[in-house]
Structure 1
Amino acid sequence: MDWLRAAARTFDSKVGWHRVGFLLSVTIIVVAAFVLYRKLHDIEVGKVAAAVVTISIQDVMVAALFVAAGYFTLTFYDLFALRTIGRGDVPYHIASLGGFTSYSVGHNVGASAFTGGAVRYRVYSAWGLDAVEVAKVCFIAGLTFWLGNVTVLGLGFIIHPEAASAIDQLPEWFNRGLGVTALAVLAGYVAWVWAAPRVIGRDNWQVQLPGGPLTLLQIFIGIVDLLCCSMAMYMLVPNTPPVDFITVAVVFVTATLLGFASHSPGGLGVFDAAMLIALWQYEREELLAGLLIFRLLYYLFPFALALLTLGLRELMLGLERRRDGGGR
């Protein structure tokens, strides 16, 4: 392991991981822009508007319920993280505030690791958490997110490798192998944290990873979140031709991760391009109509609610400080 750490340090000093991340983000955005132009340059806005009207109110309402369930699940990311770092004194309503607002803002503004972290710090610092503790919350919550993604995509790549191939253009056998590898790595991680307490980090920044049973709970939380979001999208795609839920879920999660990697606000352009490429079975106007409604339900409405909630909270805290002459 020492040689691996040395190689990583050498690479970071000579090239820099931040440069690699920047180039990756730019590449994803450029490719997405090219794809969107190819897919949308001859789209008629009137047909998209007509397709929006054809989506039933019942489907939109069910999708909205799944979106709400997904955001409710996100609150447990933060609650779990707070309990993991030993801050069980922070009540659920504060954890839910931190989780909902940080993800709503992070999803829309982009660079969610920073924007979401800033929102969390504003919420949790009022309860005595310092910057290091907030960073730990962000890390554990992010770990929950990735454990859920690895599980869902691993299973999805095995069951429907063709759905992944529609995006990454790799052979189906290769994508199935990626799925098997992902689940094998996940199983190895679970066994590793189950065998003994594991601590990562150094100096003042050390995090004890959740043990085996708690890691399974993490995976469950992540899976429920992704399934709720995927079901919301599934309710909004066209009814014909019929495409099964697992295919839509694999495409949706993969497209979401590409948008996340691009750091563009809400994965704008990248997510949409991936969906349009992979779900080629649908009429473009009809699929685009579903994507527009999904963006309203999953991005814009929660973002507006989060801003309103944070604004009211700041107003109430300001009034409380003025009345009490300071304090929390």
Structure 2
Amino acid sequence: MLEAIRRAISFLREKQILHKLGVLISVAVIGIACYMLYHKLRNIDAAAVFRAMKETEPRLIMLSALSVAAGYFTLTFYDWFAVRTIGRRDVPYRINALAAFTSYSIGHNVGASVFTGGAVRYRIYSAWDLSAVDVAKIVFLAGLTFWLGNLAVLGMGIAYHPEAASAINQVPPWMNRILAYIILAGLVGYVVWVWMKPRSVGRGPWSVVLPGGPLTLLQIAIGIIDLGFCALAMYMLVPAEPDVGFVVVAVVFVSATLLGFASHSPGGLGVFDAAMLVGLEMMDQEQLLAGMLLFRVLYYLAPFFISVMLLTLRELIIGSRSKKLQAVAADAKPGVGHPLKEHGRSGA
């Protein structure tokens, strides 16, 4: 059975069917989202949206900001877990935290987070002698943590309140509940599968040993906590009336996040917003849109600017150290061209 699945995937890759299918899905998701967003926004009063933003309680904005900070702190353990899983326990947590925070915050805003985030990670981890293959493994394992957490939250949330998902996918609640049970059964099956014996994916130097059962449970816990804080940040900013409860907002939020991720648009722009407006259409749309805009400032824009400043400061420090090393080498060997300059290397 597994061999047949591997052969099918290999065939699809050779024919680039998976790539074409992915592009088709992205275009379809963006197209549907644009259509829904147009119909949702055409009657929106922009002045009312900005007025709602100004009237949002500073206490709620602060609590949302703290939830975002807690979410990004939890997110740093994606890299911490992945780096230790590939056997590089010598890389300190502060480097994991810098790589995770900057790669995710920049990837969220630029789009194509696998590539943009991977490039940022490589720039940071290469200073610790991690190769491009090592970074690719880190990206894969961090992504696995993300998806395991998403599926766990989505499965439990839909099983508890299937009507929340029905508002987005227009599928009957009983069918969504069955889908939730299938998702949870798949998660349990995966945990059992990796618990039975060591498992790996990929071939040759690209082979990645999957975390075993106990570590997979830790992965799921990290993902759940991260998403829980993000959903809480959104919950703080949505209208208080009607009080739909945290679970409903969390299910809609995670569903919207996954749709935005599938679209590959920067920050799920348009797709995330349309899904939120459709999923929470029982709320005042101007107030909901105001909360979503504040959430984007807190979760996307603020971390992005902080990341750019951190990376710029890091490059300035590296450049300064490189110049000092070049000066020391030049003083030690007067009259001889510096080898770093001869080969065009920066020393970063």
Same fold by TM-score, threshold 0.5 exceeded? yes
2: distance between equivalents of 1:323 and 1:31? 55
Structure 1 partner of 2:227: 226
Structure 2 partner of 1:4: 5
2: distance between equivalents of 1:166 and 1:3? 37
- The Cα offsets for residues 25-57 of structure 1, whole Å up to 9 and x where unpaired, read as 111111111111101112111111111122100
- The Cα offsets for residues 294-324 of structure 1, whole Å up to 9 and x where unpaired, read as 0000000000000110011011101111111
After the TM superposition, which of the residue ranges 64-73 and 15-24 deviates more from structure 2? Answer: 15-24
Structure 2 partner of 1:133: 134
1: distance between equivalents of 2:13 and 2:96? 35
| Secondary structure, aligned partner of 1:204 | helix
Letter matched to residue 40 of structure 1? L
2: distance between equivalents of 1:241 and 1:90? 48
Spell out structure 1 runs of 4+ moving beyond 2 A: 1-15, 325-328
Structure 2 partner of 1:276: 277
Return the index of the structure with the highest Cα Rg: 2
5 Å matches for 1:292-303? Answer: 292-303=293-304
| TM-aligned CA deviation for residue 5 of structure 1 | 2.8
| TM-aligned CA deviation for residue 271 of structure 1 | 0.2
Identical-pair percentage = 60
Q: Unaligned regions of 5+ residues in structure 1, if any?
A: none
Structure 1 partner of 2:211: 210
1: distance between equivalents of 2:298 and 2:142? 23
2: distance between equivalents of 1:42 and 1:66? 32
Structure 2 partner of 1:262: 263
| Change in CA separation of 1:47 and 1:62 when aligned onto 2, cut-off 3 Å | same
Letter matched to residue 200 of structure 1? V
Structure 2 partner of 1:238: 239
Structure 1 partner of 2:82: 81
After the TM superposition, which of the residue ranges 1-10 and 187-196 deviates more from structure 2? Answer: 1-10
Q: Unaligned regions of 5+ residues in structure 2, if any?
A: 327-339, 341-346
2: distance between equivalents of 1:63 and 1:215? 29
2: distance between equivalents of 1:15 and 1:79? 33
| Change in CA separation of 1:140 and 1:11 when aligned onto 2, cut-off 3 Å | closer
Aligned residues: 328
What is the TM-score when the length of structure 2 is the normalising length?
0.92
What is the TM-score when the length of structure 1 is the normalising length?
0.98
Letter matched to residue 125 of structure 2? Y
Structure 1 partner of 2:61: 60
| TM-aligned CA deviation for residue 241 of structure 1 | 0.9
| TM-aligned CA deviation for residue 2 of structure 1 | 3.0
1: distance between equivalents of 2:6 and 2:313? 47
- The Cα offsets for residues 192-245 of structure 1, whole Å up to 9 and x where unpaired, read as 111111121101111111111111111110000000000000000000011110
1: distance between equivalents of 2:76 and 2:282? 35
Structure 2 partner of 1:43: 44
- The Cα offsets for residues 50-80 of structure 1, whole Å up to 9 and x where unpaired, read as 1112210000000000000000001100001
Structure 2 partner of 1:165: 166
C-alpha root-mean-square deviation of aligned residues, in Å? 1.1
1: distance between equivalents of 2:194 and 2:322? 44
